Amino acid sequence: MVYSKNDWNKLLKMVCFILVPFWILNVGQCLVQKDRFDEELLLKPLPSGHVYAYFQFTTVWDAPSGPQMFQHCHLFPRALGEVAGRHNVQELHVTLTEGLWRYEYWGFPVSDAAPGAELWTWFRNDTKDVDNIWKKLTGALSGLLCASLNFIGTPNSLSPEYSFRPTGVVKNSNLNSSFVRYATLPREIVCTENLTPWKKLLPCDSKKGFASLLNAGHIHNTNYHSLGLHIRPVCKDAKCTEVSIELRQTVSLVYDMMILGFQNQDWSLRKLFGLGLSGPCPLATSSFIYVDVTSNETGTPYQLQPEPTEVITSIRGGYESKFKVYNIQKMSFTHMLNIVATYSTPKVYAVNVPPVLYASRYIVGYGQERGGIVTKIHNNHWKHLDIIYLENIPWFLPIYLHTLRVVAGGKEITPILKKYVPGKERSRPYSLEVLLRIPARSVTEIYIEFDYVFLKWQEYPPDANHGFYIGSAIISAYLPVGKNYMGLPQAGPTIYSSFNASREGFLLQLRTESLIITLPTPDFSMPYNVICLACTVVALAFGPLHNITTKRLCMKDGNSCNGLLIRLKSMLFKGRKPQAQAH
């Protein structure tokens, strides 16, 4: 029997029709996936006229424990999972940030980050040689995120005792801070090359869903942008005898609507991100956009178009906030969704009401021998607040603990506890944790002195005159009120879980400005200059000396001191007498 090509094609099509459904069924049976993915976007106009956009992509995975843990991934990014699995990571928090969050004007963010790169990790209790594995982890992450995280190592890492507790679940309460590492790279630049690999970790990449709003051009023109990756173990169920792995990918953006050239305060998805939303990520369990409309009741109101699917009132820590909710999965998409906020009257700026707690930091002193760092912490609460102050000083800036002074309202405060780990040149930074009770309605000033030191010639970077960065100080507090607080509750991974999540206290971590100092920098062209100068001096000295020692001055008189030519002539014509004399 001979089949023509057409017959083959028909047969092939038939076979496909029969086989394909079987395959799909088969695959569906084998891979019982136990992970969920939620995408959320929170939009909030800030009292200062800025617009805060916070994206959060949460993947929760009932991962099998054991060595094969990250070998079979579904929605969880395997590249990141392998890095975490191989390096014995229990919790991992990476943020890459450009700009500084202005607490005084913007309130508190959902997720806080220090300028530049910040990385902190809890390793599992059975980890041996934490320093070594930390170095390898930073190297692997630098490859994954295209950032220079490989510059993090033991010489610039701290193990804070109180400031960084695991945010996820643990087995026993006796936590050993030798398994935590914290480091910052305040100078790290964040650009598209970091956003690209970050987006590739998402299940839908940037093709579909909220991540399609993240376009480089509209992210890097903001006043503040921060990328974050947070991995932690969470309870699998209410019993909490097993754990799931939670990965939170966050982007925080603050747009200044005035300088973006739109002339007015109105904003929309298209104005902020360059394009509208084309639909949810098909792999997402839920897709929500929340717009914070709390300020409509006190400030200039704005209208939203289209109408939201739901309105949520959240009471948290005694303060009420209102959110308009768009359930993207329940909306039909005939064209791109563009949420537009329009102000009916020109926006009136009220007097800024700063949040309960904020801080600022600066360098004092003059000259290039010694200086000081001052951190001012403002407490606007009616009651005293308990805070932890963590100072992270690089080894090339030796600080003196005896100069530590904490003054509030002209009165010196004795810290409740101080934990100081002195630095060591080229191997360990200076770490100082101070537990303080700061009085009500006060400004507390923390002052410490340091020395400027010389580095070795090779240790100066190529642009040494730019200056050297000192990472942010971190102020942790347990706020008794929920005003301005937008952080997520510890047990809840999504923004949704933060609604009506009243607790007895709210953990807040503030990051201060990073500082830049000018270390005494040698003149790198000095060897060249020395060579030039030395050669000039030698040449100047050699010439006259040579002349003096080899020549002698004499009167020009025919017999004793003839010129060279005449002497040569006389040597050549020794035999003959000059004719002139023959006469």
Q: Which is nearer to other proteins, 88 or 326 (CB)?
A: 88
* Token pair recorded at residue 42: 């929170």
Q: Is 65 a residue that touches other proteins (CB under 8 A)?
A: yes
| Closer by beta carbon to other proteins, 221 or else 570 | 221
Query: For other proteins, which is the closer residue by CB, 252 or 339?
Result: 252
Of residues 74 through 93, those in contact with other proteins by CB under 8 A are none
Q: Does 125 bind other proteins (CB under 8 A)?
A: no
Contact yes or no for 203/283 (Cβ under 8 A): yes
CA distance 104 to 107: 6
Three-class secondary structure of residue 244 per DSSP: strand
Residue 115 β-bridge partners: none
Residue in the structure block whose two tokens are 């956003």: 195
CA dihedral (450, 453, 459, 461) positive or negative: positive
Q: Give the CA dihedral 190, 196, 201, 207, nearest 10 degrees.
A: 140
Radius of gyration of the chain (CA): 35
Q: Are strands 411-412 and 357-364 parallel, antiparallel or unpaired?
A: unpaired
Taking CB under 8 A as the criterion, the residue among 4, 66, 523, 539 binding other proteins is 66
Q: Footprint of other proteins on residues 273-312 (CB under 8 A)?
A: none
| Residues 313-342, mask of contacts with other proteins (x by CB under 8 A) | ------------------------------
> Quick one: which of 20, 25, 72, 547 contacts other proteins (CB under 8 A)?
72
* 177 counts as binding other proteins under rule CB under 8 A: no
Residues sharing a CB contact under 8 Å with residue 330, sequence separation 6 or more, in sequence order: 309
Burial of residue 443 (number of CB atoms within 10 Å: 0-12, 13-18, 19+) = middle
Of residues 500 through 529, those in contact with other proteins by CB under 8 A are: 505, 507, 524
Which of 233-241, 267-275, 325-333, 562-570 is the region at the interface with other proteins (rule: CB under 8 A)? 233-241
Q: Can residue 178 be called a binding residue for other proteins (CB under 8 A)?
A: no
Helix axes 78-86, 130-145, angle to 10 degrees: 170
Nearest-CA neighbor of 310 among 496, 494, 486? 496
* CA 411 centroid distance within chain: 36
Q: Pick the piece of the chain touching other proteins (CB under 8 A) from 188-196, 251-259, 269-277, 348-356.
A: 188-196
- Between 151 and 319, whose beta carbon lies closer to other proteins? 151
19-38: contacts with other proteins (CB under 8 A): 19, 22, 30-32
Chain centroid offset of residue 552 CA = 76
CB of 563 to other proteins, least distance (A): 43
Q: Which of residues 35-64 bind other proteins (CB under 8 A)?
A: 64
Measured at the alpha carbon of residue 58, what is the angle toward residues 56 and 64, in degrees to the nearest 5? 165
Element at 474 (helix H, strand E): strand 474-479
- Is there binding between residue 416 and other proteins (CB under 8 A)? yes
| Pair 420, 399: CB distance under 8 Å | no
Q: Which position among 476, 498, 512, 514 is part of the footprint of other proteins (CB under 8 A)? A: 476
Shortest approach of other proteins to residue 194 CB, angstroms?
A: 9
Choose between 218 and 324: whose C-beta lies nearer to other proteins.
218
Give Cα separations from 10 to 3, 4, 14 (angstroms).
11, 10, 6
240 scored as a contact of other proteins (CB under 8 A): yes
Asked if residue 463 binds other proteins (CB under 8 A), the reply is: yes
How many Cα atoms occupy the beta-carbon half-sphere of 142 within 13 Å? 15
For residues 27 and 564, which CB has a smaller minimum distance to other proteins in the complex? 27
Select the span of 40-48, 215-223, 332-340, 440-448 touching other proteins (CB under 8 A).
215-223
- Within positions 395 to 414, which residues make up the interface with other proteins, using CB under 8 A? none
* DSSP string computed for 181-215: EEEEETT----HHHHHHHHHTSTTTTTSSGGGG--
> CB atoms < 10 A from the CB of 200, how many?
14
Q: How far is the CB of 490 from other proteins (least distance, A)?
A: 5
Nearest approach in angstroms of CB 122 to other proteins is: 9
Residue of 85, 168, 482, 493 that binds other proteins (CB under 8 A): 168
By CB under 8 A, residue 140 contacts other proteins: yes
Distance in Å, CB of 222 to other proteins, minimum: 9
Examine residue 223 and tell whether it contacts other proteins (CB under 8 A). no
Q: Which is nearer to other proteins, 255 or 323 (CB)?
A: 255
Q: Which stretch binds other proteins (CB under 8 A): 239-247, 256-264, 305-313, 341-349?
A: 239-247
Q: What is the footprint of other proteins within residues 423-452 (CB under 8 A)? A: 435, 437
The span from the CA of 517 to the CA of 208, in Å, is 44
In the bound state with other proteins, the residue whose beta carbon lies nearer, of 216 and 325, is 216
Q: Of the candidates 167, 286, 309, 327, which one interacts with other proteins according to CB under 8 A?
A: 167
Q: How many residues bind other proteins (CB under 8 A)?
A: 72
